[in-house]
């Protein structure tokens, strides 16, 4: 039952180790399971019916009614990844002795861990289905003094390397599963809105990061790519960028005039004027002059803007870094779209991939198609009329790599299916597999620590494995 795990957690917090002289308790076994303090053979753990078992995550201790550990993640020979609960007992017969065979709280148990299997090969759930039985007698536990000397919980360095290798294979499979999921979602979008609009919406959503994904996607839906081509496709250079900027910033409700502007051409970003739709007191910045670029973009919105702007309060700004502010991200979208209107986003992406001898050669042109350096007005401005002390890229290599891995490559796979081009899909997946590591991510590192605490950094390498860690963190842990 769950209370045993609470005891084991308390013992672990006090630095206690299972006794090697006294008879082991259930709490000792629960503690050994939670801390992975057991030795594995060269082939890993073996259940009583002879199947190999790899513990991806032991689960979280349960202090309430029900199994001792919840949401464990296991890889079982012949079955694959299995997620569910784990129950710990001294003897296999304690399952019936504690009445679990008739308790619906134990329907989700996927592994029964015991000190003594008593000759049994499996355990029966309340509805009669068999689950694996794992025997972990005390002699298989890592001795306390060895742990204090720094011996890895899994035993020898050879076993640690084996676990690292197995976990990497697991993560690569999970990374490809995440890729397939994203490609399937984009394929569904292509079926509804067509490939150009589907890619456009996905790229815009990616510019919003996690906090502003939804308003960026809605902005793309209110301003379809075909509309932008119709309004700005017939002009070139700075005129095209200004016209696009008027449409994007206006529809986003991020123009100075839509956040409050005085008759003298000064927009008080700190105190919105009446009628702007923004609650008085909203902290938007400081009062600065409306410069020439700002006037040009305002005029473009006045001439070409016919759409209702996003609702006031659509943008989440709390704890958003200046470089990730929606104004800067829309400026990046402006530059990306301006150079893709003639050919289209899909053709621009296909040209970046085409004609490369191997997948690694395609990474640089794909990133270059997404990067927006420090250029034009926004090189040294954080907002309209607000200069920055130094020039910074609107969309640097790190973010471009994130967009390539999460949007461009899954889109190419989906587009390949839609257009009947299997070689393009093979190329997209090959580029995905060979893509370098993305920027450090707290969720990725946390997931790696759940799999192999002592080698978490060695797991979180390469975009494919990092995506696998994200997939497990969001779907399994």
Specify the pLDDT at position 286. 44
Q: Other CB atoms closer than 10 Å to residue 25's CB: what's the count?
A: 17
The predicted structure's pLDDT at residue 146: 40
Spatial CB neighbours of 460, under 8 Å, sequence gap ≥ 6: 437, 444, 445, 448, 466, 469
Phi, psi (5° rounding) for residue 109?
A: -70, 135
Domain assignments of the chain as residue spans, ordered by start: 3-155, 194-435
User: SS3 for 123?
Assistant: strand
**Which of the pair, 440 or 93, is modelled with greater confidence?**
93
DSSP state of 274: T
Average pLDDT for residues 71-81, to the nearest whole number?
87
Average pLDDT estimate for 112-138 = 94
For the chain, what's the residue count?
A: 477
- pLDDT for 81 equals 81
Q: What percent of the chain has pLDDT over 70?
A: 83
| Residue 14 reports pLDDT greater than 80 | no
| pLDDT tier for residue 230 given thresholds of 50, 70 and 90 | very high
**Which range, of 43-47, 264-268, 464-468, averages the lowest pLDDT?**
264-268
pLDDT, position 262 = 37
Whole-angstrom CA distances from 407 to 181, 452, 465 are 12, 29, 17
What pLDDT score was predicted for residue 332?
A: 97
Q: For residue 223, give the 3-state DSSP assignment.
A: coil
For 302-327, what is the mean pLDDT? Answer: 90
Instruction: Look at residue 269 in the predicted model and tell me its pLDDT.
Output: 40
pLDDT tens, position by position, 162-207 = 667 888 888 999 999 999 999 999 999 999 999 999 999 999 999 9
Residue, of 111 and 3, whose pLDDT is higher: 111
CA distance 171 to 459: 8
Taking residues 240-259, report their average pLDDT.
94
pLDDT at 267: 38
Closest C-alpha to 406, from 447, 435, 365: 435
**What pLDDT shows up at residue 352?**
93
In this prediction, residue 55 has a pLDDT band, given cuts at 50, 70 and 90, of confident
Beta bridge partners of 90: none
| Residue 375: C-alpha distances to residues 59, 240, 434 (Å) | 49, 15, 30
Contact 380, 388 (CB under 8 A): yes
Instruction: Give the closest residue to 15 by CA, choosing from 151, 142, 148.
Output: 148
Higher pLDDT, 159 or 278: 159
**Span 401-423, pLDDT tens digits:** 999 999 999 999 999 999 999 99
- Is the pLDDT at 273 greater than 80? The verdict is no
pLDDT at 446: 82
- Residues ≥6 apart with Cβ < 8 Å to 213: 205, 206
158 pLDDT more than 60: no
Compute the average pLDDT of residues 258-280.
Answer: 44
| Contact status, residue 198 vs residue 189, Cβ threshold 8 Å | yes
Percent share of the chain, pLDDT over 90:
60
In the prediction, which pLDDT does 402 show? Answer: 97
Going by pLDDT thresholds of 50, 70 and 90, the confidence category of residue 365 is: very high
pLDDT at 152 over 50: no
Q: In the structure encoding, which two tokens stand for residue 315, read together?
A: 């943008």
Written as six digits, the tokens of 170 are 């697991």
- Residue 279 is predicted with a pLDDT of 43
Tally helices (H) and strands (E) across the chain. 20, 12
pTM of structure: 0.71
Residue range 127-154: average pLDDT? 69
The average pLDDT across 423-444 equals 93
Name the band, by pLDDT with cuts 50, 70 and 90, for residue 27.
Answer: very high
Exposed e or buried b per residue across 74-92, where buried means at least 16 C-beta atoms within 10 angstroms of its C-beta:
bbbbeeebbbbbbbbbbeb
For residue 160, what pLDDT band results from cuts at 50, 70 and 90? low
Q: What is the pLDDT of residue 228?
A: 97
Position 358 scores a pLDDT of 77
The answer to whether 126 touches 100, Cβ cutoff 8 Å, is: yes
Contacts by residues 83-87 (CB-CB < 8 Å, ≥ 24 positions apart): 83/110, 83/476, 84/108, 84/109, 84/110, 84/111, 85/59, 85/109, 85/110, 86/33, 86/58, 86/59, 86/110, 86/111, 86/112, 86/113, 87/111, 87/112, 87/113
Mean per-residue pLDDT, 71-90: 90
Q: Are 336 and 203 in contact (CB under 8 A)?
A: yes
């Amino acid at each position: 039952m769950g209370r045993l795990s609470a005891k084991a957690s308390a013992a672990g917090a006090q630095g206690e180790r299972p006794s090697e002289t006294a008879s082991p308790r259930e709490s000792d076994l629960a503690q050994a399971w939670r801390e992975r303090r057991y030795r594995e053979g060269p082939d890993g753990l073996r259940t009583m019916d002879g199947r190999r078992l790899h513990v991806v995550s032991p689960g979280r201790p349960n202090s309430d009614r029900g199994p001792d550990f919840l949401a464990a993640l296991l890889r079982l020979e012949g079955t694959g990844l299995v997620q569910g609960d784990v129950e710990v007992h001294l003897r296999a017969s304690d399952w019936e002795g504690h009445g679990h065979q008739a308790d619906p709280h134990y329907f989700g148990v996927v592994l029964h861990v015991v000190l003594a299997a008593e000759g049994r090969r499996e355990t029966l759930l309340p509805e009669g289905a068999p689950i694996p039985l794992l025997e972990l007698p005390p002699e298989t536990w890592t001795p306390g003094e060895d742990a204090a000397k720094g011996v890895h919980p899994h035993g020898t360095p050879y076993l640690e390397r084996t676990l690292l290798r197995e976990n990497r294979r697991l993560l690569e499979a999970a990374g490809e599963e995440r890729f397939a999921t994203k490609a399937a979602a984009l394929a569904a979008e292509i079926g509804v809105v067509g490939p150009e609009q589907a890619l456009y919406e996905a790229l815009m959503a990616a510019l919003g990061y996690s906090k502003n994904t939804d308003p960026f996607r809605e902005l793309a839906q209110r301003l379809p790519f075909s509309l932008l081509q119709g309004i700005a496709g017939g002009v070139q250079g700075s005129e095209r960028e200004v016209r696009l900027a008027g449409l994007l910033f206006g529809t986003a409700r991020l123009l100075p005039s839509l956040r409050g502007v005085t008759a003298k051409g000064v927009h008080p970003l700190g105190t919105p004027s009446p009628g702007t739709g923004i609650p008085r007191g909203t902290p938007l910045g400081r009062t600065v002059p409306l410069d020439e670029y700002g006037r040009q973009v305002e005029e473009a919105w006045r001439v070409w803007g016919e759409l209702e702007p996003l609702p006031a309060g659509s943008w989440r700004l709390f704890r958003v870094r200046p470089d990730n502010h929606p104004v800067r991200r829309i400026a990046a979208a402006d530059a990306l779209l301006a150079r893709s209107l003639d050919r289209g986003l899909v053709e621009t992406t296909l040209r970046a991939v085409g004609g490369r001898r191997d997948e690694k050669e395609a990474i640089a042109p794909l990133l270059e198609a997404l990067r927006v350096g420090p250029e034009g007005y926004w090189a040294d401005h954080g907002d309209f009329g607000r200069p920055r002390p130094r020039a910074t890229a609107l969309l640097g290599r790190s973010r471009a790599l994130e967009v390539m891995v999460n949007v461009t490559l899954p889109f190419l796979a989906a587009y390949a299916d839609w257009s009947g081009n299997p070689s393009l899909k093979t190329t997209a997946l090959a580029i995905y597999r060979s893509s370098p590591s993305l920027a450090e991510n707290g969720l990725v590192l946390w997931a790696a620590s759940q799999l192999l605490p002592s080698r978490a950094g060695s797991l979180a390498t390469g975009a494919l494995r990092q995506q696998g860690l994200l997939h497990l963190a969001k779907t399994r842990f």
